[in-house]
Amino acid sequence: MSARILIVDDDRVILELASIILRTDGYSVRTAGDGILALNLLAEESFDLVLLDFMMPGKDGLEVLQEIKHNFPDIAVIIFTGMGSENIAVNAMKAGAADYIIKPFRNHDLLERTATVLRSRRLEMQNRELLAEREHHLQEIQQWNLKLERRVAEKSQELDAAQDEIIQAEKLATLGHLAVGLTHEIRNPLNSINLFAQILKNDHAAAPQSVEFLDRIQSEIDRIDNLLIKLLAVSRAQNRVDSVVQVDIVAKDVLKSFQPQLEAQRIRLQEQIVATPLFHGDQEEVRQIFTNLISNALHSMPEGGELSVSVVPILNSIQVKVSDTGCGIPLEDQARVFDPFFTTRKKGTGFGLSSVLRIIKTYKGKISLSSQPGQGTTFNVLLPLQMPVPVSVQETPS
C-alpha cells in the first residue's frame, strides 16, 4: 500500500505542485489550506507523513506540529520554510519534525527527502514492534520461570513430607523391634517378682505391715506390666481387618466410658455422631483412636471447657474430629506429638498419639491437627472405607 501524505500550506500553488509531484511518484496525497483543516483531516483519516508549511496565517506551523506530535506521535512531519529561515527549521526539528525543505524546492529534493523520512519512520516503527515483542517474550519467560520455581518448591515440599513420613515410619518400626524384645525380657523377671511377692503374702506368719508393703509391690508391678502391654500395642505392626466396625457406635461407647470424667472436670460435650457405613478393621484399634484422642483432650482441659466429637461419612471415608478448648499445642511441639515417647505430661507415656498414628497408617488413613496455644486443639482423622490390598500380600511373579 502506498504511503499516505498530507500537505498543509496556505499557498495553493505549492499545494498543487507538491501534490502532483508526489502523486506521480505513487503516493496517496491529501491537502489542507490551513492548520485547522489539517488537524480535522488528521483526526478523520490516517497518514504516514505530513508536509507542513511553517508560515501560515491562523494556526502557525509550530502549533500544528506540536499538536500532531502530541496526538499522533507516529506521524512523521517535514517542515516547509522559506529561504534564510534556517533557525526556524532548527526549532521545528527540536519540536519533533523529521526534516525540513527550503522553499522553493526542487522536485528531486522533495521526493528524496520524503522517501528518506518515510523509510526511517518505517524502520523506527519496526524497531518498536520488535522491542515490544522482545518485552512480551521476556515477560513470558519470566512467567514460566515463576511457574517453574513454584513447581520446584511444591515438589520439594512433597519430598520433605515424604521424607518425614519415612522417618516417622522408621521410628515406629525401631520402636516396634525394641519394644517387643524388651517387653518380653522385662515381663519374665517381673512375673517372678510378682510370684515371690505372692508367696510371701501367703505366709500366714507375715506381719500385717509386710502384707501391705507386698500389696504395694504388686500394684507397682501391675503398673509396669500395664505400661509394657501398652508399649506392645503401639508396636504391633499389623491390624486385623477381618471384621467390620460400626465407627459411630464405637465413638458413642467410648464417650460413655468417659462420662464420669467429663462430669468431674465440668466439661461440656458437643457431639455430632452420624451413622456411618461399616468400616473394615479392628474394633479394638478404632476404640484406641477415640480413647487416646479424647483422653488427651480431657488432659488439656483441667479447668473445664468444651469437648467436641464428630463422626461423619464423607465421600469414601469416615471423618472423625476431636476438638477441645484446652491449653493447645505450641507450634514447636506440633510436629513431635506423634513421636513415640514424646510427652509433656508428668504421668504421660508418649505412646498415645504414636499408636493412633500407627493404627491410622495401617488403614491408609490420615491424621492432622490444628492448634492455637491457649485456645484449643482439633485432631482430624480420615479413615478410608475401601481397604486397599493388604500390604502383606505377596505379588505373584508374572
Ligand X SMILES: Nc1ncnc2c1ncn2[C@@H]1O[C@H](COP(=O)(O)OP(=O)(O)O)[C@@H](O)[C@H]1O
HSE toward the beta carbon, residue 333, CA cutoff 13 A? 16
Cβ closest to ligand X, residue 194 vs residue 349: 349
**How would DSSP label each residue in 332-354?**
HHHTTTTSTT---STT--S-HHH
Long-range contacts of 380-384 (CB under 8 A, 24+ apart): 380/319, 380/320, 380/321, 381/289, 381/293, 381/319, 381/320, 381/321, 381/322, 382/317, 382/318, 382/319, 382/320, 383/247, 383/279, 383/281, 383/286, 383/317, 383/318, 383/319, 383/320, 384/316, 384/317
Read off the amino acid at residue 280.
H
Strands 267-273 and 305-314: parallel
Q: Minimal CB distance to Mg ion: which residue?
A: 352
| Beta carbon of residue 316, minimum distance to Mg ion (angstroms, whole number) | 29
- Residue 343 interacting entry, from Mg ion, ligand X, none, C-beta within 5 to 8 Å by type: ligand X
Instruction: Enumerate binding residues for ligand X (CB under 6 A).
Output: 292, 296-297, 300, 324, 326-329, 337, 342-345, 348-350, 352-354, 377
- Residue 326 interacting entry, from ligand X, Mg ion, none, C-beta within 5 to 8 Å by type: ligand X
Considering only CA atoms, which of 21, 20, 29 is closest in space to residue 2?
A: 29
Cβ closest to ligand X, residue 59 vs residue 321: 321
- Residue 327 interacting entry, from Mg ion, ligand X, none, C-beta within 5 to 8 Å by type: ligand X
Strands 49-53 and 4-8: parallel
- Residue 329 interacting entry, from Mg ion, ligand X, none, C-beta within 5 to 8 Å by type: ligand X
8 A C-beta contact, residue 310 and residue 247: no
| Beta carbon of residue 253, minimum distance to Mg ion (angstroms, whole number) | 19
- The count of residues interacting with Mg ion (CB under 5 A) is 2
Q: Minimal CB distance to ligand X: which residue?
A: 352
- Strand, coil or helix: 111: helix
Cβ closest to ligand X, residue 35 vs residue 328: 328
| Beta carbon of residue 341, minimum distance to Mg ion (angstroms, whole number) | 12
| Beta carbon of residue 190, minimum distance to ligand X (angstroms, whole number) | 21
- Residue 9 interacting entry, from Mg ion, ligand X, none, C-beta within 5 to 8 Å by type: none
- DSSP conformational letter for 130: H
**What whole-number distance in Å separates Cα of residue 53 and Cα of residue 76?**
14
| Beta carbon of residue 350, minimum distance to Mg ion (angstroms, whole number) | 8
Cβ closest to ligand X, residue 257 vs residue 344: 344
Cβ closest to ligand X, residue 175 vs residue 329: 329
- Strand, coil or helix: 196: helix
- Residue 176 interacting entry, from ligand X, Mg ion, none, C-beta within 5 to 8 Å by type: none
**How would DSSP label each residue in 75-96?**
SEEEEEEETT-HHHHHHHHHTT
| Beta carbon of residue 164, minimum distance to ligand X (angstroms, whole number) | 17
Residue list 326-385, contact with Mg ion (CB under 5 A): 352
Cβ closest to ligand X, residue 281 vs residue 352: 352
**What whole-number distance in Å separates Cα of residue 375 and Cα of residue 199?**
53
- Residue 344 interacting entry, from ligand X, Mg ion, none, C-beta within 5 to 8 Å by type: ligand X
Cβ closest to Mg ion, residue 56 vs residue 337: 337
Structural element, H or E, at residue 234: helix 208-235
Cβ closest to Mg ion, residue 3 vs residue 337: 337
81 binds Mg ion (CB under 5 A): no
Binding mask 286-325 for Mg ion (x = CB under 5 A): ----------x-----------------------------
Cβ closest to ligand X, residue 234 vs residue 318: 234
- Strand, coil or helix: 372: strand
| Beta carbon of residue 324, minimum distance to ligand X (angstroms, whole number) | 5
Q: Which stretches of the chain bind Mg ion, using CB under 5 A? A: 296, 352
